[in-house]
Structure 1
Amino acid sequence: MVDTSELQRQEKLLLALDNIPLSTSYAKIEAFFHPTALRGILKSVDYGALKATEVEIYSVADREVVLEEL
């Protein structure tokens, strides 16, 4: 049986990683994700250099549709 909650956490983490500016240092990324990786990213929180307020959480299927529309 597939653990859907784990899949959702992975989707959120991958989407957050997709939205990190290339100029962000590895140390900032590591410090940011260590305590929050399992909870995902909250849009209502300003995470500083990572700009997580700009991150919208899509399912994998929704992301494919959005990418096709661009």
Structure 2
Amino acid sequence: RLVLADLSIGVFLWISISSIAPIGLLISGYVSNNKYSFLGGLRAAAQSISYEIPLTLCVLSISLLSNSSSTVDI
């Protein structure tokens, strides 16, 4: 198996790292110094967050069914 590190909290680490992406969308919209770019950044961040919530619930339910939060065991 090609495993970099067997973390016991791999699923939670994956969820926390993937939830950082909307911050970049907000910052890129704010830095452009344009009203419409900022609104577009807000819309993209809201859309990203709204897609993350069901994805997180699905991943956590699979983690609960397998009784492990390690990505190797799942």
Tell me if both proteins adopt one fold, taking TM over 0.5 as the criterion: no
| Larger relative contact order, structure 1 or 2 (CA cutoff 8 Å, min sep 6) | 2
Higher helix share: 2
TM-score (norm 2): 0.31
